[in-house]
């Protein structure tokens, strides 16, 4: 049985660009458009030519896409103008965009209040604007603004607006849930009604996530007869975002009820670029990717708990709704305090340590992990510390340098100008190959000062760490109890002061010029000590990975 | 027409606690349970007693909830044991939890492969376990694990499993989409079938967000006949999260298709706490709230663009699907300070400061709050600091003591016994009524030492702070961008070292013997300085509240 074609329309560069804090450059837009084209999206809405210099520049020299159609966004003609004589429409047809999408009103209330023209005139505007685009040889689409609210208020009028577009030759009529308040069961019902009421109309859906249902609304519309789906990468968009095209693509391509019935422009091979494409947008926006994003999040296929993990490894479909590699993602096995042997083995494999399951050192490693997790360490976000810990147990990490002692001073006082200042200084005594060195550093806080001192002079290792950068620093206060149990009551100040209560976990992320990134962890009741551990691990990990020679040991 | 009752079941503390990086303390769990109770949730699943020390401690002394039922989670009895003789079930009935939810298998494949017992035995296990809970007088629920996958594989067997629970007197049978791969149209169909097949069964839905449809799946289940909905605050949960109870509550309470037909335990007044409750979880997790979260996100009702804004102000329903204040959120309109002003007034009222809306000091307060929030302060979780800040602007807080300077030293070295030790000492110079005093303190970390020194001797104020206890201490590293917006982006080491990037926010919760609790905040690039601010505010707040006499000012 041949499949029906389902068209994907990306509006990351137009509606997504409306998001507060998002400010694409022309180059950003070109890069995103090219990535969407490689993925196999059918339409890439680049912006609104004439609305701002970036969008005009984008359409003046659109990227050469291999299959996706660059789409320009605009409005229906103004009241009182002919379509031929409308500057807005002329701006659109003046571009080379093969497809043009114009927004028009379909809610009687909006026509009365916002446009303040007779309702019949609005219908004429829609029809004439679409006809004009068609006459210029463009693929013509109507974005029916507020369609669902309009339909609920006055179904006959809302349908008449769609009929005007369809009658004028619109290639697509896109039903927009502009406020995002429509629920899936309503979308199902209303789209079905439109399909029945206007035979031959080709419908699209444009959903927003204000009730957390943008993806479900899009799916409901497709099942009811829509064949074009508009959305954005990662659900970018104002307020609560647009429909997340990444989630939709996963479902359209991998879920039998859709994949067996519909065909999109996305090949199996391109689908494996879904995760990198999603991450690219975050990279351009300089955001941390959402770890919990469906299909493409770092945690989307993460498994925790020993029993569970051995079940996953035995038969992934037990706990994974789709194979992670299909979307270019990967399974993650977490080390947790329920860590089983199979967790450890899987986790070692992740950091390229292959051990025979019968190797007796695995039990020692497991003990070490449990002991450390009991102390408050968490290796979930600290791969480099995990790898170092494992390789140390396996005797693979040489000694490089020794920190004999450190001292950190934080002082708040009035300076000579009677200004209140807080200063931080650190002194580190370190040995490299038996040579003792004294380093000092200052910073805006104790950890910062310690980091500066530690990296001021590491002798023969200095060249290895010159390009090391700290890119993130996180602190978490844990409340661990005495003995084997976690605390059973609020931690009183006595316990807090006695050092048996709160423990600090520090996570540090480091990077180097080659683009490597690694994370390390430190735990102590003392935040400075915890930070020191994570800083030292960050340096040792780089020395190990870059093959620095071993040191000769301490002088005494 | 009387409405049908719809029950809300929160599993933030059980299934949500499975999330990577989430590590609730007993105190965290109690605070969240109390907030859920205030909101009006029906069931608060606190964890799995016996599975780990935190959960056992929680159930050993459960919080006193006014209406929500504390629910314990566990498993059906083990194969080969009688229910009366099963240690797992005994652990559950050994708690005082009025409701108990046990997970059982309903997918034939899982019974064959994971349990490796005859399928009929699994059915017996379910029935006997539920009957046992009922015989102990508890409300008994079955979490039907992998139900949707099980139903698709072998509908007759999956239904037989449910029948066993229902026949044994289960108060609720909860259909779990354990892998999160089921789509809304499938949920509709399958739940309807179950309703028809097992008359009288009371169904719940437990959805995960692996296809971005957890909320839609929950809605679909309710429309098909489920009357209990399980979810978590902010959709917390492993992989892509559980159904977001916050989004669901917004829809159940505000959308006519649900609100006209169903009644939940959430009053109109409690609904206005939805936003603070959502933010509280982020505060406890030390996370930045999702700005784009449906209903409760900071940007959920943000409007951009002049025309659009005036349309919103003229008639909010044009661009807002629900009124933001109904869920305790607020409209964000860039051109108007009106929202800010009423917000400030509302927050002042929360701390019992009544001001005339025309009072000119409100503008000064608003400026102060904006300036401080720009610096990184957040008063959401620090009521005492907010109240102090406001009362200071209003000239109501006297001077008590003055800290001239402090010095904190952290040293790591080998002691006389050649053990590696890290010590922290602090010296504080403080004036009370013109008397200069020098206090020293030591502790397990720099903040702890500073706290000890600060409270060692406050002269005539000492008796006021003798019973002051620090009960919680939280640190968050903020990455402030340039301009006015916060940024979630990684900060490079240059900015980090230059002190223009990362800023530390410290939140301290204090308590006294009378049972009062208050929270204070400090912000600085230096964690010790930030902690000092929060510690000092904690002391001043107690002096103010307890009516301590003013000091006579500094000596010079």
In 10 A of CB A13, how many CB atoms? Answer: 28
| Residues B200 and B109 both lie in one domain | yes
Verify whether the Cβ–Cβ distance A493 to B469 is below 8 Å.
Answer: yes
* Option in A216, A474, A528 nearest B213 (CB): A216
B299 and A529: CB-CB below 8 Å? no
Q: Are residues A249 and A201 in the same domain?
A: yes
User: Same domain, yes or no, for A201 and A316?
Assistant: no
Tell me how far apart the alpha carbons of residues A285 and B446 are, in angstroms, rounded to a whole number. Answer: 37
Of B185, B311, B504, the CB nearest to A445: B504
Q: What is the pLDDT of residue B305?
A: 45
- H helix intervals, B300-423: 306-314, 338-350, 361-375, 383-393
pLDDT tens across B264-320, in order?
Answer: 999 999 999 999 999 999 888 877 789 899 999 988 998 754 445 556 666 777 789
- Highest mean pLDDT (candidates A390-394, B46-50, B135-139): B135-139
Mean pLDDT across B70-77: 97
Same domain as B261, residue B125: yes
Residue A403, domain member (yes or no): no
Contacts of B60 in chain A (CB under 8 A): 488
**Strand ranges inside A223-316, DSSP E:** 228-231, 262-263, 302-303
Does this model's pTM top 0.80? My answer is no
Q: Indicate if A247 and A322 belong to the same structural domain.
A: no
A35 and A180 housed in the same domain: yes
pLDDT of residue A555: 64
Higher pLDDT, A503 or B538: B538
State the CATH number of the domain containing residue B72: 3.20.20.70
Interface probe with A: pick from B239, B501, B555, most Cβ of A within 10 Å = B239
Distance CA A122, CA A80 (A): 11
Are A408 and B410 an interchain contact pair (Cβ–Cβ within 8 Å)? yes
Query: Length of chain A in residues, anyone?
Result: 556
* pLDDT interval class at A99 (50, 70, 90): very high
Query: Would the CB atoms of B496 and A473 count as touching at under 8 Å?
Result: yes
Burial label, B51 (beta-carbon count in 10 A; 0-12, 13-18, 19+): middle
pLDDT surpassing 50 at residue A108: yes
pLDDT the model gives residue A286: 65
What is the token pair recorded at A470?
């700290």
Decide: A52 and A86 in contact? Cβ < 8 Å: no
What is the rounded average pLDDT of the residues B383-397? Answer: 91
Residue, of A52 and B448, whose pLDDT is higher: B448
pLDDT at A444 over 90: no
Q: Classify residue A359 by its DSSP letter.
A: -
Closest residue to A410, CB basis, from B109, B248, B446 = B446
Nearest C-alpha neighbor of A269 from the set A10, A40, A51, A35: A40
Q: Pairing state of beta strands A99-105 and A69-75? A: parallel
Whether residues B66 and B195 share a domain: the answer is yes
Residues B358-363: contacts with CB under 8 Å, at least 24 apart: B361/B393, B361/B394
Average pLDDT of span A211-231 = 98
CB A388 within 8 A of CB A542: no
In a domain, B419, yes or no: no
**What is the rounded distance in angstroms from the CA atom of residue B474 to the CA atom of residue A477?**
6
Is pLDDT at A201 greater than 80 in this prediction? Answer: yes
Q: Are residues B262 and B309 in the same domain?
A: no
Which pLDDT score, from 0 to 100, does residue B211 have? Answer: 98
Range A170-177 average pLDDT: 98
CB A505 within 8 A of CB A479: no
Of A472, A477, A489, the CB nearest to B490: A472
**Number of domains making up chain B:** 2
B149-158, B159-168, B337-346: segment of lowest average pLDDT: B337-346
Residue A360 counted as domain residue: yes
Compute the average pLDDT of residues A329-356.
75
**Angle ∠(A96,A98,A104) on CA atoms, nearest 5:** 105
Q: Which pLDDT score is estimated for A491? A: 31
B286 lies in some domain? no
Chain B residues whose beta carbon lies within 8 Å of the beta carbon of residue A236? none
Q: CA-CA distance, A547 to A396, in Å (whole number)? A: 12
CA distances from B319 to A11, A161, B324, B339 (A): 20, 20, 11, 17
Q: Do B444 and A314 touch (CB under 8 A)?
A: no
CA dist B250 to A178, A206, B35, B185, Å? Answer: 18, 22, 17, 22
The nearest CA of chain B is from the CA of A146 a distance in Å of 9
CB pairs under 8 A between A and B: 359
Residue of B67, B69, B71, B88 whose CA lies nearest to B79 = B88
Closest CA to A37 of A70, A61, A59: A70
In a domain, residue B220? The reply is: yes
Please judge whether B409 and A409 are an interchain contact, meaning their C-beta atoms are less than 8 angstroms apart: yes
**B204 touches B230 (CB < 8 A):** yes
Residue B488: pLDDT over 70? no
Shared domain for B260 and B330, answered yes or no, is no
Q: Please indicate whether, in this complex, the C-beta atoms of B209 and A292 are within 8 angstroms of each other.
A: yes
Is B383 a member of any domain? no
Mean pLDDT of A324-328: 93
Does the distance separating the beta carbons of A492 and B294 come in below 8 Å? no
User: In 3-state terms, what secondary structure has residue B36?
Assistant: helix
- Name the residue range of residue A161's domain: 4-266
Among the partner-chain residues B60, B294, B472, the one whose CB lies closest to the CB of A210 is B294
- Most confidently modeled range among A10-14, A349-353, B390-394: A10-14
B26 and A179 within 8 Å at the Cβ level: the answer is: no
Residue B496 has pLDDT above 50, yes or no: no
Do B210 and A294 count as a contact with CB atoms less than 8 A apart?
Answer: yes
Q: For residue A499, give how far its alpha carbon lies from the nearest alpha carbon of chain B (Å).
A: 5
- Interchain proximity A488–B319, CB inside 8 Å: no
With pLDDT > 70 as the criterion, what percentage of chain A qualifies?
Answer: 91
Query: What percentage of chain B exceeds 90 in pLDDT?
Result: 66
Counting Cβ atoms within 10 Å, is residue A496 exposed (0-12), middle (13-18) or buried (19+)?
buried
Q: Do B407 and A407 touch (CB under 8 A)?
A: no
Looking at CA atoms only, how far is residue B87 from chain A in angstroms? 19
Retrieve residue A345's tokens: 């083995």
What is the per-residue pLDDT for B314? 67
Q: Which two tokens stand for residue A442?
A: 């200052």
Together in a domain, A60 and A187: yes
Q: Do A244 and B212 touch (CB under 8 A)?
A: yes
Nearest-CA distance A8 → chain B (Å): 17
Contact A114 B318 (CB under 8 A): yes
* Residue A546 pLDDT exceeds 70: yes
The Cα of B392 is separated from the nearest Cα of chain A by a number of Å equal to: 20
Q: What does pLDDT average to over chain A? A: 88
Pick B20's closest partner by Cβ from A113, A380, A444.
A380
Cβ separation of A212 and B215 shorter than 8 Å? yes
Average pLDDT, stretch B29-50?
Answer: 96
Contact B443 A499 (CB under 8 A): yes
Residues in a beta bridge with A410: A424, B408
Q: Which of B266, B294, B317 is the last residue of a domain?
A: B266
Whether residues A205 and A310 share a domain: the answer is: no
Looking at CA atoms only, how far is residue B324 from chain A in angstroms?
Answer: 11
The encoded tokens of residue A59 equal: 């359409």
Q: Which two three-digit tokens encode residue B78?
A: 């083990």
Whether residue B380 has pLDDT greater than 70 = no
CA distance B469 to chain A (A): 5
| Chain A residues within an 8 Å CB radius of B244 | 212
Q: Are B309 and B303 in contact (CB under 8 A)?
A: yes
User: Which residues from B are below 8 Å from A443, CB to CB?
Assistant: 497, 499
Domain boundary among B248, B266, B284: B266
Chain B CB contacts of A184 under 8 Å are 184, 216, 219-220
Q: Tens digit of pLDDT for each residue in A266-300? A: 999 999 999 999 988 987 776 778 989 999 998 99
Average pLDDT over residues B388-409: 93
Residue B432 lies in a domain: no
Of B374, B397, B401, whose CA–CA distance to B385 is shortest?
Answer: B397
- ipTM summary value: 0.72
The end-to-end CA distance of chain A, in Å, is 80
The answer to whether the CB of B524 falls within 8 A of the CB of A424 is no
Reported in sequence order, the residue ranges of B33-120 that DSSP labels E, i.e. its strands, are 43-47, 69-75, 99-105
Q: Which residues of chain A make contact with B528, given a CB cutoff of 8 A?
A: 410, 412, 422, 424, 445-446
What is the residue whose two structure tokens read 């005036």? Answer: B310
Rounded Cα distance, A289 and A282, in Å = 6
Give the one of B295, B406, B499 whose C-beta lies nearest to A444's C-beta: B499
Q: How far apart are CA B249 and CA B5, in angstroms?
A: 14
Residue B84 C-alpha, separation from nearest chain A C-alpha, in angstroms: 25
Is B367 or B217 the better-scoring residue by pLDDT? B217
A317, A347, A374 - which closes a domain = A374
Chain B residues within an 8 Å CB radius of A247? 211-212
Q: Do residues A10 and A121 share a domain?
A: yes
Query: What is the nearest CA distance from B295 to chain A, expressed in angstroms?
Result: 7
A489 to chain B: which residues are within 8 Å by CB?
26-27, 57, 61
In a domain, B401, yes or no: no
Contact B411 A410 (CB under 8 A): no
Q: Are A446 and B527 within 8 A, CB to CB? A: yes
């Amino acid at each position: 049985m041949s499949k029906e074609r389902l068209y994907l329309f990306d509006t990351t560069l137009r509606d997504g660009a409306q998001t507060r804090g998002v400010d694409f450059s022309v180059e950003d837009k070109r890069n995103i458009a090219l990535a969407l084209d490689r993925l196999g999206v059918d339409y890439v809405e680049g912006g609104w030519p004439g609305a701002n210099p970036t969008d005009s520049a984008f359409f003046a020299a659109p990227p050469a896409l291999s299959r996706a159609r660059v789409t320009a966004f605009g409005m229906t003609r103004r009241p009182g103008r002919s379509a031929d004589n409308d500057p807005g429409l002329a701006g659109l047809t003046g571009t080379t965009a093969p497809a043009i999408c114009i927004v028009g009103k379909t809610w009687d209330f909006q026509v009365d209040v916002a446009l303040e023209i007779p309702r019949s005139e609005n219908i004429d505007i829609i029809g004439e604007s679409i006809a004009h685009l068609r006459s210029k040889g463009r693929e013509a689409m109507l974005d029916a603004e507020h369609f669902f609210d309009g339909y609920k208020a006055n179904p006959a009028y809302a349908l008449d607006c769609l009929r005007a577009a369809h009658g004028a030759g619109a290639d697509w009529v896109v039903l927009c849930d502009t406020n995002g308040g429509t629920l899936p069961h309503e979308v199902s019902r209303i789209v079905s009604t439109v399909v029945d009421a206007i035979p031959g109309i080709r419908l699209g859906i444009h959903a927003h996530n204000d009730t957390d249902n943008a993806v479900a609304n899009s799916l409901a519309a497709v099942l009811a007869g829509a064949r074009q789906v508009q959305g954005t990468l990662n659900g970018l968009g104002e307020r609560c975002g647009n429909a997340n095209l990444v989630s939709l693509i996963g479902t359209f391509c991998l879920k039998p009820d859709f994949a067996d019935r519909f065909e999109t422009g996305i090949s199996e091979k391109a689908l494996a670029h879904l995760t990198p494409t999603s991450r690219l947008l975050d990279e351009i926006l300089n955001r941390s990717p959402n770890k919990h994003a469906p299909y493409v999040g770092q945690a989307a296929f993460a498994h925790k708990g020993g029993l569970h993990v051995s079940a996953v490894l035995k038969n992934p479909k037990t706990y994974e709704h789709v194979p992670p590699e299909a979307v270019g993602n990967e399974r993650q096995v977490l080390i947790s305090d329920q860590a089983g042997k199979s967790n450890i083995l899987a986790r070692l494999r992740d950091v390229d340590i292959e051990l025979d399951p019968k190797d007796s050192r695995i039990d020692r490693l497991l003990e070490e992990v449990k002991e450390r997790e009991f102390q408050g360490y968490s290796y979930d976000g600290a791969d480099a510390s995990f790898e170092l810990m494992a390789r140390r147990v396996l005797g693979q990490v040489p000694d490089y340098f020794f920190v004999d002692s450190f001292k950190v001073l934080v002082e708040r006082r009035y300076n000579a100008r009677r200004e209140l200042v807080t200063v931080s200084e650190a002194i580190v005594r370190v040995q490299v190959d038996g040579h003792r060195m004294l380093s000092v550093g200052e910073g805006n806080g104790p950890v910062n000062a310690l980091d500066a001192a530690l990296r001021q002079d590491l002798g023969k290792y200095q060249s290895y760490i010159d390009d090391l950068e700290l890119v993130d620093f996180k602190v978490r206060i844990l409340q661990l109890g005495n003995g084997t149990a976690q605390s059973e009551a609020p931690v009183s100040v006595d316990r807090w002061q006695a050092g048996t209560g709160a423990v600090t976990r520090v996570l540090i992320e480091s990077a180097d010029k080659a683009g490597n990134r690694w994370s390390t962890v430190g735990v102590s009741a003392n935040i400075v000590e915890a930070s020191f551990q994570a800083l030292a691990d960050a340096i040792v990990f780089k020395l190990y990975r870059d093959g620095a020679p071993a040191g000769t040991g301490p002088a005494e």
